[in-house]
């Protein structure tokens, strides 16, 4: 199947700093990618839909100015958590469709101290 | 919007037994129903999926059934093994290319 990668796999940062997470489709092109957030022992919650060449679409309750999404190419979407706070600590996962199947990245564990 | 309910939240079985996880969805326009397995600290891995034009699909020890009239679908794992222990999520979407809506997950524990 298709492969989606994420970098970094884990990151620790201080409160107030910004963190960038990359999501890449390795062997296919993706005009649309999705960003999910998962808190411990909970399900995946859709945060936003990343669209190549246009603005991302955010789910209700997700602050677009806090979670900046850039989909600059057909294989790369980035999520930047701005002015991170401890409550932003979570597991962030991206995904993309290929061959009529949605594939997920390995996730990025963010810990904000 | 779509809402997906998943039961049970936890399931413990003995090795070799079968495990069944059930999901219901609310949007009759949904037509794609994947199942993912997630191990601790990892991203979800697709294990099987089914589309609305099919009632059942099987892949070795794993099978999925779909009842569109009742709007529910189920995951069946036979001859369970300890390595099947993980969290399983069902999901639904209305068409390829759109976001998936997930159930709350089922923690499956297989004891040897």
Lowest mean pLDDT among A11-20, B29-38, B61-70, B96-105: B96-105
| Closest to B73 (Cα-Cα) out of B97, B55, B95, B100 | B55
List CB contacts (< 8 A) between B97 and chain A.
32, 97
Asked whether residue B96 carries a pLDDT value surpassing 80, the answer given is: no
Q: How far is B104 from chain A (nearest CA, A)?
A: 5
Asked whether residue A1 carries a pLDDT value surpassing 80, the answer given is: no
Q: How many residue contacts between A and B have a Cβ separation below 8 Å? A: 48
Q: Which residue has the tokens 């100015």?
A: A65
CB atoms within 10 A of CB A16: 10
Asked whether residue B2 carries a pLDDT value surpassing 90, the answer given is: no
Across the range A22-28, mean pLDDT stands at 95
Q: How far is B28 from B33, CA to CA, in rounded Å?
A: 12
Across the range A43-63, mean pLDDT stands at 94
Least CA distance to B4: which residue of chain A? A43
Whether B89 and A100 lie within 8 Å, measured CB to CB: no
Across the range A31-56, mean pLDDT stands at 94
Residues making up chain A, counted from first to last: 113
Least CA distance to A98: which residue of chain B? B97
Confidence of residue B54 (pLDDT cuts 50, 70, 90): confident
Q: Please, which residues 74-103 of chain A have a Cβ atom closer than 8 Å to chain B?
A: 93, 95, 97, 100-103
Q: What is the pLDDT of residue B1?
A: 83
Residue range A80-102, pLDDT digits in tens: 999 999 999 999 999 999 988 99
Strand order in the sheet with B72-77: B4-7, B19-25, B72-77, B62-67, B56-59
Q: Please, which residues 12-71 of chain A have a Cβ atom closer than 8 Å to chain B?
A: 32, 34, 42-46, 49
Confidence of residue B53 (pLDDT cuts 50, 70, 90): confident
Q: What is the pLDDT of residue A112?
A: 97
Across the range B38-65, mean pLDDT stands at 94
Decide if B92 contacts B36 (C-beta within 8 A): no
**CA-atom Rg of chain B in angstroms:** 13
Q: How far is B7 from chain A (nearest CA, A)?
A: 13
Question: Could you give the residue ranges of the DSSP H alpha helices within chain A?
Answer: none
Which of B42, B96, B102 lies closest to A43 in CB terms?
B102
Q: What is the pLDDT of residue B18?
A: 98
Residue range B12-38, pLDDT digits in tens: 999 999 999 999 999 999 999 999 999
Asked whether residue A14 carries a pLDDT value surpassing 90, the answer given is: yes
């Amino acid at each position: 199947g298709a492969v989606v990668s994420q970098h970094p796999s884990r990151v620790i940062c201080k409160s107030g700093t910004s963190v960038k997470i990359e999501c890449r489709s390795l062997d296919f092109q993706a005009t649309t990618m999705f960003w999910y957030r998962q808190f411990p022992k909970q399900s995946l919650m859709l945060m936003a839909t990343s669209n190549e060449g246009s603005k991302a679409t955010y789910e209700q309750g997700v602050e677009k100015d806090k979670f900046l999404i850039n989909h600059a190419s057909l294989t790369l979407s980035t999520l930047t958590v701005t002015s991170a706070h401890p409550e932003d600590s979570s597991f962030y996962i991206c995904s993309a469709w290929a061959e009529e199947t949605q594939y997920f990245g390995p996730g990025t564990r963010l810990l904000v101290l | 919007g779509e809402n997906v309910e998943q039961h049970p939240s936890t399931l413990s079985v003995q090795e070799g037994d079968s495990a069944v996880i059930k999901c219901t969805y609310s949007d009759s326009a949904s037509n794609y129903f994947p199942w993912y397995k997630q191990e601790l600290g990892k991203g979800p891995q697709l294990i099987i999926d089914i589309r609305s034009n099919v009632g059942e699909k099987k892949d070795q020890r794993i099978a999925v059934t779909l009842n569109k009239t009742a709007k529910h679908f189920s995951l069946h794992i036979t001859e369970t093994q300890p390595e099947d222990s993980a969290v399983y999520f069902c999901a639904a979407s209305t068409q390829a290319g759109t976001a998936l809506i997930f159930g709350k997950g089922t923690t499956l524990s297989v004891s040897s």
